[in-house]
Structure 1
Amino acid sequence: MNTPSLPKQFALDIGHTPKASLENYLPGSDRALISTLQTLCDSWKKSPPKEINNPLNDRWMYWSGPEGSGRTHLLQAMTNAAEFAGLKSFSLTPTEPITWVRLEEQITALAENDKASVITVDDVDRLDDRLAGALFRILNTVQASKNIHIFMAGNAAPANLGLREDLRTRLGWGLIFQTQLLDDDEKIQALEQAAKARGLVLSPEVAPWLLNRFYRDMPNLMALIDALDAYSLETKRAVTLPLVRELLQPK
């Protein structure tokens, strides 16, 4: 069976995607992780938002999981929560080394600041030797600080990453979680929740049909919800199965 794909004009023109948050994340089996993160976000809403003498385990977290299990969404959610609380934040990925340089230039000042700050690191498993060294130095500063929070994610537990041993050990010093893929019922719930957040109402048969005929991973399914949002607005039609088929038919 050929899997339909998104027309390019909708795959590349997504303008109504809600920002990632803990509220629009369907936890599935990840409730302990979400509860821990929510407690931290709630603490940032206090005025002034300070984290004096905060234990390392309250500020240093790493989670792993397969592609599509929501690990990047959660990192983005923590960055957005930090920005909403007025905290300085840095989002690090292997593809943007300049951001690492900028953080290292400022991290000593962040460590000495009474106000909390937030660092996220995505795709830890893809770090090259240079960025692995940078992360090791960053973690040493975070450990010695009182107010820097760091959240990291990769495709495997720290001990199973193909990184230098001292970095793998450091990664395991904080709280460790694992994100899980959603089952089909949870995916349907997540799709309906995402549609509702965009002001869409899906016909009851739409979500199950998508799981059977479209890509089954959540990033592609969420991209399709965005495309349906745009197509529904363009055509001024409700999101029914005929509309979905029309969107996905080859052009």
Structure 2
Amino acid sequence: MNNSPLPRQFALDISHIPTPSLSNFLAGENLALHSTLQDLVKSWESNHPRLASENPLNQRWIYWWGPKGSGRTHLLSAIGIAAQELGLEYFPLTPNEPISWVSLEERLPSLSTSNQPSVITVDDVDRLDERLVASLFRILNEIQGSKAIHIFMAGNAAPGALKLREDLRTRLGWGLIFQTHLLGDDEKIQALQQAAQARGLVLSPDVLPWLLNRFYRDMPNLMALIDALDAYSLETKRAVTLPLVRELLQPK
């Protein structure tokens, strides 16, 4: 199996990659988490702020974990984008942008007393350094006593198995916890077909099974490959058939 990166000579056109959403996420075994997030968005859409006593922590504090390619980041982005579309304040946090953490901590006192929902997402919790671990600890303490702040976090392991300080691991488990699962081959094909249709891309029936058997198997690379095939098909003005796929993927 060839697991090398996409051909260097080919530049991906990302201008028309569909935005992550709950509607374009194929749930598979992740149905419980997906349904929980959909229900939360519906509660935001109803636009009826609730008191803290009516808004328990396990409805505002969710951590999910699973292997790379199981939809962790897609779901974080999707819930954040849904919040933005509804006019809610949204704060995406990652290990790579520490300044965002500082900005959020400055805003937390006012957010905590507001009845208006606000949304925080934290990706790659397992990669946080000591300074960001301390920041997340403070953020979670503030959220615990807040009225309407929602926080969604994702990592590569269950809270108890993370290589983080114990008091943070304990707090990660205060809300709901879900495990995200990789899609099976039939589910991967269904998801890739949906992604292709969203781009207006028609694939010959033998393309996706061949890719799964001979090339990539993880969803991020497969989705990137769909984008590559889309752009290459437009560039060459040819249909996406197995010969075109082989041509794109052959070393130069």
TM-score grouping bracket, smaller chain normalisation: over 0.9
What is residue 24 of structure 1 aligned with on the other side? 24
Tell me, in whole angstroms, the C-alpha distance in 2 between the residues paired with 1:17 and 1:3.
22
Contact kept in structure 2, 1:17 and 1:198, CA below 8 Å: yes
Q: Tell me by how many angstroms 1:233 deviates.
A: 1.8
- Does 1:154 find its partner at 2:194? no
Tell me, in whole angstroms, the C-alpha distance in 1 between the residues paired with 2:235 and 2:16.
13
Tell me, in whole angstroms, the C-alpha distance in 1 between the residues paired with 2:216 and 2:206.
16
- Local SS of the residue matching 1:176: strand
Which string of whole-angstrom CA distances, capped at 9 and with x for unpartnered residues, describes residues 103-153 of structure 1? 011111111222110000000011111100100110011110111000000
Alignment of 1:6-21 (within 5 A): 6-8=6-8, 10=10, 12-21=12-21
Q: Tell me by how many angstroms 1:49 deviates.
A: 5.6
- The amino acid of 1:43's aligned partner reads S
- The amino acid of 1:107's aligned partner reads L
Tell me, in whole angstroms, the C-alpha distance in 1 between the residues paired with 2:173 and 2:4.
41
What is residue 90 of structure 1 aligned with on the other side? 91
Alignment of 1:1-251 (within 5 A): 1-3=1-3, 5-8=5-8, 10=10, 12-46=12-46, 48=47, 50-53=49-52, 54-251=55-252
- Local SS of the residue matching 1:151: strand
- The amino acid of 1:164's aligned partner reads R
Tell me, in whole angstroms, the C-alpha distance in 2 between the residues paired with 1:222 and 1:29.
19
* Fraction of identical pairs, as percent: 72
Tell me, in whole angstroms, the C-alpha distance in 2 between the residues paired with 1:158 and 1:226.
34
- The amino acid of 1:234's aligned partner reads E
Q: TM-score, normalised by structure 2?
A: 0.95
Divergent runs of 4+, >6 A: none
C-alpha RMSD of the superposition: 1.4
219 and 11 in structure 1: CA distance in 2 versus 1, 3 angstrom threshold: farther
Q: TM-score, normalised by structure 1?
A: 0.95
Tell me, in whole angstroms, the C-alpha distance in 2 between the residues paired with 1:161 and 1:143.
21
Contact kept in structure 1, 2:12 and 2:227, CA below 8 Å: no
Unaligned ranges ≥5, structure 2: none
